[in-house]
Amino acid sequence: MTDRSLIMDEAALWVVRISDNPDSSMRAAFDAWLAQSPEHRMCYQIALAGWERLDGLGSLRLEPADDRIALPPAPPQARRRLAWPRALALAASLAAVIIVPIALLVPGEPALAYATRPGEHREIRLADGSRVELNSNSAIVVRFGHHIREVDLVHGEAAFHVTSGSRRFEVHVRHTVVDMTSGDFGVRLDTDGPRVTVANGLVELSGADARVGPGNLQLAANTVAKVTPDALEVQHLPATEVSRQLTWQNGMLQFDGQSLAEAVTDFNRSNRQQIHIGDPVIGQLHIGGLFRAADINGFADAVALTLPVTVRHNADGDIELTARQPR
């Protein structure tokens, strides 16, 4: 290797390091390196110029005319496979069939949960241990089998916490497929198309007609992709903004095996309306699930559905929980 090549390698490494962290404690070592000769300083300038030239790539993030990341409208038949689950989901929502997602129970026993109720937030635990948090007025269809881990987001918004498995985890929304092996991401279906927010892991985005491009589009942590009929916009966001976008669960209370007494204490702290536990024994029951902190009545109803508990509203509006008498 010539001196030229060696110095250029070192210069490139300094550019990579210093640009990544300008306050770096390596600064002194860098200055010493620069001081060695004009050739070192020149090589650094050459490397830096190239590095900055590569910044031009950043415009690919928002380049709608680019044929590789533009997402053409999918033909209507493209998602034929989805037809019946969609119809099912539609029928389910029309019939107002509600399966309250909660669970209870004895610690250690898996919490079973499916489904959706408009106006509620629900946490759904899937068979593989992954979790789905469903925002209000949202609907999903879950298809799990030996060869698939698929969720259709029919409408609304959901956050997915995917555990690693032998299969990729796919979320279908409109004509877009979002998939990953493990990590956390959110999908929201707006009127103009879906938005995908990645908190952790590497997500792949593809169109149903597979025309996003060879190898699909990869979204790293802290990126947001907005798919419209014409284009795909990908933005990198600070981690704080990503977590804000994904924490519509804010103001939520989540329980995972806590006692009913502890849960009630939490609810009472955030509500004027109070819950009283009439029988100490039910306070020892364990519950699980995700609840809106302000929805104290919804919580009481959910508890009554899943635990041997009767809900009674007192004259002052407070709620009393008592043990349901065996018949």
Partner 1 sequence: MTNDEERTRWFRREVLPLQSRLQSFARRFSRASAKEPEDLVHDVLLRMFTLERWRAVDRPLSYAAQTLRNLVLAEVRHNKVVPIVPLPVLEWAELADDRPGADREAEARDDLRLLRELIDALPPQCRRVVTLKKIHGLSNAEIAETMGLSISTVEKHLVKGLRTCLQQWSVGTAAPSDEDCNSHDRSLADHGRGRALGRTHQR
Say whether residue 25 binds partner 1 (CB under 8 A): no
* Window of 146-154, 213-221, 255-263, 294-302 that interacts with partner 1 by CB under 8 A: 213-221
Shortest reach from residue 205's CB to partner 1, in Å? 13
Say whether residue 40 binds partner 1 (CB under 8 A): no
Q: By CB under 8 A, name the one of 36, 83, 210, 218 that touches partner 1.
A: 218
Which is closer to partner 1, CB of 44 or CB of 299? 44
* Window of 58-66, 80-88, 174-182, 270-278 that interacts with partner 1 by CB under 8 A: 58-66
Are 260 and 277 contacting, i.e. CB atoms less than 8 angstroms apart?
A: yes
Q: By CB under 8 A, name the one of 32, 148, 220, 281 that touches partner 1.
A: 220
Q: What are phi and psi of 72, to 5 degrees?
A: -70, 150
Say whether residue 192 binds partner 1 (CB under 8 A): no
**Count of residues near partner 1 by CB under 8 A:** 41
Q: Which residues of the chain form beta strands (DSSP E)?
A: 103-104, 122-125, 131-134, 139-144, 149-162, 169-173, 176-180, 183-190, 193-200, 203-207, 217-219, 223-227, 232-236, 252-259, 275-277, 286-292, 309-313, 319-323
Shortest reach from residue 54's CB to partner 1, in Å? 5
Residue showing tokens 């949202």: 138
Q: By CB under 8 A, name the one of 6, 42, 83, 91 that touches partner 1.
A: 42
CA 158/CA 185 separation, integer angstroms: 9
CA distances from 311 to 97, 119, 271, 292 (A): 22, 21, 17, 18
CA 197/CA 184 separation, integer angstroms: 9
Enumerate residues 5-24 that contact partner 1 by CB under 8 A: 8-9, 12-13, 15-17, 20-21
Say whether residue 27 binds partner 1 (CB under 8 A): no
Which is closer to partner 1, CB of 101 or CB of 183? 183
Q: Are strands 319-323 and 275-277 parallel, antiparallel or unpaired?
A: parallel
The amino acid at residue 226 is K
Q: By CB under 8 A, name the one of 115, 180, 227, 234 that touches partner 1.
A: 234
Say whether residue 57 binds partner 1 (CB under 8 A): yes
CA 180/CA 159 separation, integer angstroms: 13
Which is closer to partner 1, CB of 25 or CB of 250? 25
Which is closer to partner 1, CB of 5 or CB of 270? 5
Which is closer to partner 1, CB of 12 or CB of 293? 12
Say whether residue 30 binds partner 1 (CB under 8 A): no
Residues 218-251 as b or e (16 or more Cβ within 10 Å = b): ebebbbbbbbeeebbebeeeeeeebeebbebbee
Say whether residue 49 binds partner 1 (CB under 8 A): yes
Which is closer to partner 1, CB of 60 or CB of 91? 60
Enumerate residues 251-310 that contact partner 1 by CB under 8 A: none
CA distances from 77 to 72, 74, 84, 90 (A): 14, 8, 13, 18
Instruction: With CA atoms as reference, report the closest residue to 102 among 308, 255, 326.
Output: 255
* Window of 35-43, 151-159, 164-172, 306-314 that interacts with partner 1 by CB under 8 A: 35-43
Q: What are phi and psi of 257, to 5 degrees?
A: 90, 5
Residues composing the chain:
327
Task: Give me the residues that bind partner 1 (CB under 8 A), please.
Answer: 2, 4, 8-9, 12-13, 15-17, 20-21, 38-39, 41-42, 45-47, 49-51, 53-61, 63, 201-202, 218-223, 234, 236
